[in-house]
Structure 1
């Protein structure tokens, strides 16, 4: 089977818009959000959506992967403008927000991300993003060098579960404050 051809620039822009709009729609309405409304808001026809994402499940999976990649890519960008401990705190808040948005899609995501390989890939990406932040803080002397990225990811997952729901973000922020104090050198 020949390798897939790269998407044209306009097709990449359409895909990017579809993923952004779909992420907002799924966060707002859950996995049953209207695909027709997503296509309309993205400025494309429903046929374009289905050509790129043949099923609701493929769109949900693509949104999830895109959001994970986007979250992980913020780690180095945060370090460019913030001190490592502040960058870590900002990234942790974004992680909790990401998890809250994904909660509404829980059953759909479980159905899509059924393989252990998928889960391990995602955990690896998130762990690696945290490791970048932790390493920078350890090098600057602001984060304890023994803090393990995998352990911290587990803590963040627990906070995301404890603080589920739109009215619980204050609790998540308070808990993240405790975590921040705990990793401080």
Structure 2
């Protein structure tokens, strides 16, 4: 049975509100999420039983978006530009990830991390493979190398993000070029 359109719309609004709020300083409060989403508390709780469930769904949605984006970028752009654009989205995702990491308990984070690294690896396999096949990216770098190198995103302070992250992503991309 297909979900009603208002149910789908409410879930999307809740996730959008959580995405915006998790990037802000302070504790993520479900009441603030419901208010920003324009839904009542009951509606929020019908979709997400608690804060960890909401954050898990938000994190998984971000990963799924990154994975889908990789395939689209490979089709629409030459490999270096595809990887550059994917890195830009990875940086945007890192802001959400940082908020999620700060908000969830270690046990929830370990579960999320285990489930999502494989998806990111698949996305990077496609991006790196396209670049290697085109002769523009190194073929001795694997997805885990890139994931490990991109962890710097978790350590960039908010006040330096706009200046530092684009430069660091350029350095990362340059290191992948042949």
TM-score interval, normalised by the smaller of the two chains: 0.7 to 0.9
Change in CA separation of 1:114 and 1:175 when aligned onto 2, cut-off 3 Å = closer
What SS is found at the alignment partner of 2:23? helix
Please tell me whether residue 12 in structure 1 is matched to residue 18 in structure 2: no
TM-score w.r.t. length of structure 2: 0.86
- Closer, same or farther in 2 for the Cα pair 1:40/1:118, shift >3 Å? closer
Give the gaps of 5 or more residues in structure 2.
none
Q: Deviations over 1:81-115 (max 9, x none)?
A: 32111111121122123223332342323446244
1:163 matched to 2:159? The reply is no
Q: Which residue of 2 aligns with 1:37?
A: 32
Cα 1:29/1:168, change in 2 over 3 Å: closer
1:79 paired with 2:74, answer yes
Distance 1:18 1:161, change over 3 A: closer
TM-score (norm 1): 0.83
Unaligned runs of 5+ in 1: none
Please say which of residues 35-44 and 12-21 is displaced more in the overlay: 35-44
Contact 1:57-1:112 at 8 Å conserved across structures: no
| Paired residue total | 178
**2:126 aligned with 1:132:** yes
RMSD: 2.2
Q: Deviations over 1:39-88 (max 9, x none)?
A: 23323222110111111221121111111211222111222332111111
